[in-house]
Amino acid sequence: MTVGPQHELIETFANPRPERDYLITHTCHEFTSVCPKTGQPDFATINIEYVADGECLELKALKFYLQSFRNKGIFYEAVTNQILDDLVQASRPRRMTVIGNFNVRGGFSSVIRADYDSKESPR
Amino acid sequence: MTVGPQHELIETFANPRPERDYLITHTCHEFTSVCPKTGQPDFATINIEYVADGECLELKALKFYLQSFRNKGIFYEAVTNQILDDLVQASRPRRMTVIGNFNVRGGFSSVIRADYDSKESPR
Amino acid sequence: MTVGPQHELIETFANPRPERDYLITHTCHEFTSVCPKTGQPDFATINIEYVADGECLELKALKFYLQSFRNKGIFYEAVTNQILDDLVQASRPRRMTVIGNFNVRGGFSSVIRADYDSKESPR
Amino acid sequence: MTVGPQHELIETFANPRPERDYLITHTCHEFTSVCPKTGQPDFATINIEYVADGECLELKALKFYLQSFRNKGIFYEAVTNQILDDLVQASRPRRMTVIGNFNVRGGFSSVIRADYDSKESPR
Amino acid sequence: MTVGPQHELIETFANPRPERDYLITHTCHEFTSVCPKTGQPDFATINIEYVADGECLELKALKFYLQSFRNKGIFYEAVTNQILDDLVQASRPRRMTVIGNFNVRGGFSSVIRADYDSKESPR
Amino acid sequence: MTVGPQHELIETFANPRPERDYLITHTCHEFTSVCPKTGQPDFATINIEYVADGECLELKALKFYLQSFRNKGIFYEAVTNQILDDLVQASRPRRMTVIGNFNVRGGFSSVIRADYDSKESPR
Amino acid sequence: MTVGPQHELIETFANPRPERDYLITHTCHEFTSVCPKTGQPDFATINIEYVADGECLELKALKFYLQSFRNKGIFYEAVTNQILDDLVQASRPRRMTVIGNFNVRGGFSSVIRADYDSKESPR
Amino acid sequence: MTVGPQHELIETFANPRPERDYLITHTCHEFTSVCPKTGQPDFATINIEYVADGECLELKALKFYLQSFRNKGIFYEAVTNQILDDLVQASRPRRMTVIGNFNVRGGFSSVIRADYDSKESPR
Amino acid sequence: MTVGPQHELIETFANPRPERDYLITHTCHEFTSVCPKTGQPDFATINIEYVADGECLELKALKFYLQSFRNKGIFYEAVTNQILDDLVQASRPRRMTVIGNFNVRGGFSSVIRADYDSKESPR
Amino acid sequence: MTVGPQHELIETFANPRPERDYLITHTCHEFTSVCPKTGQPDFATINIEYVADGECLELKALKFYLQSFRNKGIFYEAVTNQILDDLVQASRPRRMTVIGNFNVRGGFSSVIRADYDSKESPR
């Protein structure tokens, strides 16, 4: 198995309408990573919702970034937070939410939701 | 390929009930434009929701205006904002929201939502 | 084509519980009128939601009133507002909302929503 | 036709967790009564949502109570309010909502929603 | 029948991102317990939604804990509150909601929702 | 409780197109009878599908006939066969199928399907 | 009420591929006629499925033909057979099926299906 | 864990219409057994479809019989065939099908379908 | 408008398993052409189902071929048959079906289905 | 990327009821492989339906076998046929069908279905 997520794959382009707060949502229906405990693959839908400031996320690069988790062992809670942190770091949005919606395992489905707001100080 | 959107196609008619703030929503289920990077067609549902002031959007003209994007190369973020700007310019609504809901590309679907409110000053 | 809506068809009965603000919703799944431009029939679902004061809308009479639009030429925005105005006039509710949800025409579906509140002064 | 609703069928049991405000919802998918005008049966889904104080509604007794409307002639607005009044009277909840969702008649479906809150004085 | 729920089965792991308030939802689609009155099995979907403080719920242990109700006689209202109390006790979350969504019995489905918030004092 | 089904309520009218074998389906979404064991009401959707010979089933009379089971104690298997027998007797169809689709009881839903064909001799 | 269906509105065009048996289906989601007994409007979806011989049904003319039933009093069984007879007469298909799917009335929905095959002699 | 399925729980009653071949379907939405390998509970919907000869399956007894698998360790293929064999043995139907539709495990759902026909000799 | 479909865009690759008759289905969710009468765009889902002989359809080339209809004026019946003829000509399948499922126009949706079988002689 | 599918991972167990032809269906909702042309991941649901002879497919081993395609470059048509060939080779079923249902790429979804029957000689 190769090593995991490569945040340097994220690319941005100049926001075409920075004077307006508008909402951009990209939903990746085909996310897969690996359970660090069992080595078994996990599958999820990843929802990324943000208000851009100067930069927008380039969609093809975003796809390659999420694909870099394909053979990475990582828990649900960690992967959702890491995607949010990497994307905030790379694109400096006004606000962003990442939601990981993970497939059924042992009769349980799981959803992790993490939010970032540039106007709030961390807890 | 011919040139793109023609805002002069937009037509309006007198709001039949201007003394009331009521909500009008038109949903175009058949929007198509072209990806400026790959030249491939994009497909979307475009949702237009507004409170009219003096003028309402004429529906047939609205259809022709959205059809004028058919062979235009333009990104998701730009097209959603341009539709909002063109419609606000032509019909001077009290408020308006445009939502572009774009079909799956490479396992990703995207939704862009932009709002205008005549009572707010721009950011 | 015969003449259109007949508000005198609306009937009411005494609200059985006027001391409580409770919400009544009637949804007509089979509304049809005529496009004044093309002469073609339009089809819609009409949603009527209100808090009665002294009077409730009698359901069978409401059906006959909505049927009186069957051969009337009238636009989406006008018909929704007229239904609200006629019903408010006839039943004097505490508040009322009428939503017209019109079938696809030329790839577009449309929803018009108008609200009345007895406690608000008109705009 | 036999006589109608028998509120004395309602039974309660001691709330197992009265120190917490938690929400209990029971949905009866099989409510039927009779239209007082036509003598024809009406069918509805009845939704009962409440925060218990000292007493919870016993589910089997609740079923028998709602069945006692089976051959009772009563209008939509009246039956929904009566169920709320009878259940409030019998169980003294902190708050309660009853929603009657009535099947299509003559192309119309109807929903009646009534709320009770022990902390509000009646209108 | 064997004895019931074993809260000592619950395990936690260190929250990987305690400085952020983020929402974790686990939905168990296969909960079953026993009706204490009839001895008949009950079936439910159990939804657990929380903001972790120092500790996250370990998913496999959570499964074993919920399985320990399999042969336990307990009412809907009690089981939902007990799960909330046990999980709060074991993981000390910032806030938590447990929703039990119980299958149809005698034409009724039931939903019980209980909330805990570390910042609120009990009623 | 009053006595049960009254087959004399069934009415027919002359088949408007007897030279053609065409299929007529009526679906009653609101059938209710009573369990003869427990006295509890049962609820079902009843599907009646037939090819008329000389006579068609009159729909309003069919409704009254099915309503006559409202307070009748009868099992699923018996009621489905009786409806088929009564309707065949009254309307002499070329062929007919009755399907009773009964609501969940104790975690079980049930469907009974019985067929009649005038060209087949009974088993 | 005005007079009813006008079969002379039906138009055809030359089948572009007569050497192949291929299936054409047009579904009218907005059919309405009038109940001859009550004078109340009926609503249906009409499905027309056929294999053309020399002529195909022109879609706009088909719409006008079906609209000519708008104020015609006619029963479900009769209207479905008449549409089939009129369309067969006008377009001489190899085979054709008409299905009328009528909205709920008094808790009943109805479906009428009639078939024509040029290779079969009538019953 | 207690011992498993008890076929002696199955009860029958006399077929009310033995001269007709009609189809009876009971669907248990709440079947649970135990995986013999992992000791973990399995969940399924069990569909039982049959044409009775002299005897029909009594529904409440059928429920108790299926509940007797609750703590039994048994594989999908074996449990489906055993239910079919036990029910055929007890009720001697003309034909019977049992379908077990098992919940997702490790990303896989499974369906097992077994048929019995009294007129066929075994393979 | 530019000129229309370019069958020379179709490409094939060698069938990896020609000794087996297996079924390949490609569904294009984003087909658009132009109505030759009104000049308005049409939208459809195109379903292509075939058993390959020596050659399989290359998916990307198939996409470009279907895109070449984008600005072509052509009726529903003609476009479905032409796609079938072009694909049969280019790939010589054992059998093939093309289904065009066209969006609502004037309250009508349409489906055209055409089949080819190498073992049948044309009608 | 590591090398691909490992048919030696497939395991079987003795069919518990070989004297009966019964149908076993396993559906893998989480199949992923890699496009050999673009290097991009593909996603599919794989449906495996078979009648066992002496051996049944062990479900956990089947999961590992399908996971071995995770980093393998292979086309839709080839992967579906290879899974069928590998499973037939390993388990010698009476008959088997494999259906690969691949996610949308460039606006196209694809389904490949391949069948094996031990009683038929190859084409």
Marked catalytic residue, from H21, H28, H42, H85 = H42
| CA–CA dist A34, A53 (Å, integer) | 33
Marked catalytic residue, from A35, A56, A86, A117 = A35
pLDDT tens-digit map of A98-109:
999 999 999 999
Of D104, D105, D123, the CB nearest to C21: D123
CB contact under 8 A, F105 and H29: no
What's the whole-number average pLDDT of chain H? Answer: 94
| CA–CA dist A96, D49 (Å, integer) | 35
Mean pLDDT, residues H14-35 taken together = 97
User: How does residue D11 score in pLDDT terms, banded at 50, 70 and 90?
Assistant: very high
CB within 8 A of C117, min separation 6: which ones? C94, C95
Probe site for chain C from G43, G66, G68, G104 (most C CB atoms < 10 A): G43
What's the whole-number average pLDDT of chain D? Answer: 94
Instruction: Provide the pLDDT for residue G120.
Output: 83
Residues E55, E91 contacting (CB under 8 angstroms)? yes
| CA–CA dist A19, B84 (Å, integer) | 14
- D116: nearest CA in chain C? C20
**Chain F residue set in contact with G, beta carbons under 8 Å:** 15-17, 19-30, 52, 56, 59-60, 62-63
Element (H, E) at F55: strand F55-57
User: How does residue A120 score in pLDDT terms, banded at 50, 70 and 90?
Assistant: confident
CA–chain centroid gap for B41, Å, is 18
pLDDT of D51 strictly over 90? yes
Min CA distance, J64 vs chain I (Å)?
Answer: 25
For residue H34, list its beta bridge partners: H41, H73
| CA–CA dist G72, G4 (Å, integer) | 4
CB contact under 8 A, A27 and B110: yes
What percentage of chain D reaches a pLDDT higher than 90? 92
pLDDT tens-digit map of D74-109:
999 999 999 999 999 999 999 999 999 999 999 999
For residue C14, list its beta bridge partners: C55
**Terminal alpha carbon distance of chain H:** 36
Instruction: Provide the pLDDT for residue F5.
Output: 80
pLDDT of B25 strictly over 70? yes
Element (H, E) at J102: strand J95-105
CB contact under 8 A, D106 and G43: no
Residues J17, H81 contacting (CB under 8 angstroms)? yes
User: How does residue D2 score in pLDDT terms, banded at 50, 70 and 90?
Assistant: very low
Q: Which of H26, H17, H23 is nearest to F82 (CA)?
A: H17
Instruction: Provide the pLDDT for residue D5.
Output: 80
Residues in chain I with CB shorter than 8 Å from the CB of J104 are: 29
Residues in chain C with CB shorter than 8 Å from the CB of D40 are: none
Q: Which of J84, J87, J119, J113 is nearest to J101 (CA)?
A: J113
pLDDT of E108 strictly over 60? yes
CA–chain centroid gap for D36, Å, is 19
pLDDT of B29 strictly over 90? yes
Give the SS3 label for residue F96: strand
Residues E72, E83 contacting (CB under 8 angstroms)? no
CB contact under 8 A, E107 and F103: yes
| CA–CA dist F114, F82 (Å, integer) | 10
Instruction: Provide the pLDDT for residue B3.
Output: 55
**Chain E residue set in contact with H, beta carbons under 8 Å:** 29-30, 32, 40-41, 43, 67, 70-71, 103
For residue F32, list its beta bridge partners: F43
Tokens at residue J46, please? 């794989």
| CA–CA dist C47, F59 (Å, integer) | 28
CB contact under 8 A, H25 and F112: yes
Instruction: Provide the pLDDT for residue H122.
Output: 55
Residues D57, D26 contacting (CB under 8 angstroms)? yes
pLDDT of B121 strictly over 70? no
Probe site for chain A from J3, J32, J63 (most A CB atoms < 10 A): J32
Residues in chain I with CB shorter than 8 Å from the CB of B41 are: 30, 32, 67, 70
- ipTM here: 0.92
Residues in chain F with CB shorter than 8 Å from the CB of D40 are: 67
Question: Whole-structure pTM over 0.90, yes or no?
Answer: yes
pLDDT tens-digit map of A16-29:
999 999 999 999 99
Give the SS3 label for residue B68: coil
pLDDT tens-digit map of B61-113:
999 999 999 999 999 999 999 999 999 999 999 999 999 999 999 999 999 99
User: Phi and psi of A48, rounded to 5°?
Assistant: -120, 120
User: Phi and psi of E88, rounded to 5°?
Assistant: -65, -45
CB contact under 8 A, C30 and G103: yes
Residue at A101: amino acid letter: N
pLDDT of J1 strictly over 70? no
Instruction: Provide the pLDDT for residue J5.
Output: 80
pLDDT tens-digit map of C52-107:
999 999 999 999 999 999 999 999 999 999 999 999 999 999 999 999 999 999 99
User: How does residue H4 score in pLDDT terms, banded at 50, 70 and 90?
Assistant: low
pLDDT tens-digit map of F2-16:
456 889 999 999 999
Instruction: Provide the pLDDT for residue D4.
Output: 67
Of C30, C40, C71, the CB nearest to G43: C30
Q: Which of J95, J108, J78, J90 is nearest to J23 (CA)?
A: J95
User: How does residue J4 score in pLDDT terms, banded at 50, 70 and 90?
Assistant: low
Instruction: Provide the pLDDT for residue F4.
Output: 67
Question: Do chains D and E have 3 or more beta-carbon pairs under 8 angstroms?
Answer: yes
Instruction: Provide the pLDDT for residue I5.
Output: 80
Instruction: Provide the pLDDT for residue G1.
Output: 41
Residues A66, A83 contacting (CB under 8 angstroms)? yes
| CA–CA dist A61, H10 (Å, integer) | 62
**Chain B residue set in contact with I, beta carbons under 8 Å:** 29-30, 32, 40-41, 43, 67, 70-71, 103
| CA–CA dist F11, A12 (Å, integer) | 73
Ramachandran area for residue G15 (φ above 0: left; ψ -120 to 50: alpha; else beta): beta
| CA–CA dist I55, I91 (Å, integer) | 6
| CA–CA dist G9, G55 (Å, integer) | 15
- E112: nearest CA in chain D? D24
Output C2 or D54, whichever has higher pLDDT.
D54
Residues A73, A35 contacting (CB under 8 angstroms)? yes
Instruction: Provide the pLDDT for residue D113.
Output: 98
Instruction: Provide the pLDDT for residue B122.
Output: 55
For residue B38, list its beta bridge partners: none
Tokens at residue F21, please? 């074998």
Mean pLDDT, residues D4-10 taken together = 88
Ramachandran area for residue E107 (φ above 0: left; ψ -120 to 50: alpha; else beta): left
Tokens at residue E116, please? 């805990």
Question: Do chains A and I have 3 or more beta-carbon pairs under 8 angstroms?
Answer: no
Tokens at residue E115, please? 């909330």
pLDDT tens-digit map of G57-86:
999 999 999 999 999 999 999 999 999 999
Marked catalytic residue, from C28, C42, C56, C86 = C42
What's the whole-number average pLDDT of chain C? Answer: 94
Instruction: Provide the pLDDT for residue I56.
Output: 97
- HSE (side-chain half, CA atoms, 13 Å) at D85: 14
Residues D98, C4 contacting (CB under 8 angstroms)? no
pLDDT tens-digit map of H67-110:
999 999 999 999 999 999 999 999 999 999 999 999 999 999 99
pLDDT tens-digit map of A44-75:
999 999 999 999 999 999 999 999 999 999 99
Probe site for chain I from B30, B33, B65, B72 (most I CB atoms < 10 A): B30
| CA–CA dist H98, H85 (Å, integer) | 10
Tokens at residue G52, please? 């053309």
pLDDT tens-digit map of G90-118:
999 999 999 999 999 999 999 999 999 99
Output B4 or B107, whichever has higher pLDDT.
B107
CA–chain centroid gap for A106, Å, is 25
Q: Touching A: which chains, 3+ CB pairs < 8 A? A: B, E, H, J
User: How does residue F121 score in pLDDT terms, banded at 50, 70 and 90?
Assistant: low
Q: Is H56 a catalytic residue?
A: no
Residue with tokens 């951009």: A24
Min CA distance, I102 vs chain B (Å)?
Answer: 12
pLDDT of C112 strictly over 90? yes
For the annotated catalytic residues of F, the residue numbers are: 35, 42
Mean pLDDT, residues I82-109 taken together = 97
Instruction: Provide the pLDDT for residue B120.
Output: 84
User: How does residue A5 score in pLDDT terms, banded at 50, 70 and 90?
Assistant: confident
CB contact under 8 A, D107 and G107: no
Min CA distance, C117 vs chain I (Å)?
Answer: 35
pLDDT tens-digit map of J30-82:
999 999 999 999 999 999 999 999 999 999 999 999 999 999 999 999 999 99
User: How does residue C5 score in pLDDT terms, banded at 50, 70 and 90?
Assistant: confident
Instruction: Provide the pLDDT for residue C3.
Output: 55
Residues in chain J with CB shorter than 8 Å from the CB of H77 are: 15-17, 22, 24, 52, 56
Instruction: Provide the pLDDT for residue J120.
Output: 84
3-class DSSP string for chain C: CCCCCCHHHCCEEECCCCCCCCEEEEEEEEEEEECCCCCCEEEEEEEEEEECCCEEECHHHHHHHHHCCCCCECCHHHHHHHHHHHHHHHHCCCEEEEEEEEEEECCEEEEEEEEEECCCCCC
- Beta strands H12-14 and G55-57 are unpaired
Q: Which of C18, C103, C98, C108 is nearest to C66 (CA)?
A: C98
CB contact under 8 A, D40 and G104: no
Question: Do chains A and C have 3 or more beta-carbon pairs under 8 angstroms?
Answer: no
Mean pLDDT, residues D22-42 taken together = 96
CB within 8 A of A38, min separation 6: which ones? none
**Chain B residue set in contact with C, beta carbons under 8 Å:** 15-17, 19-30, 52, 56, 59-60, 62-63
For residue J73, list its beta bridge partners: J34
Residues in chain J with CB shorter than 8 Å from the CB of H109 are: 26-27, 29
Residues in chain F with CB shorter than 8 Å from the CB of E44 are: none
pLDDT tens-digit map of E12-27:
999 999 999 999 999 9
Residues in chain H with CB shorter than 8 Å from the CB of E103 are: 29-30
Mean pLDDT, residues J77-98 taken together = 97
User: How does residue G3 score in pLDDT terms, banded at 50, 70 and 90?
Assistant: low
| CA–CA dist I4, I70 (Å, integer) | 7
For the annotated catalytic residues of I, the residue numbers are: 35, 42
Number of helical (H) and strand (E) elements in chain G, helices listed first: 2, 6
Instruction: Provide the pLDDT for residue C2.
Output: 46
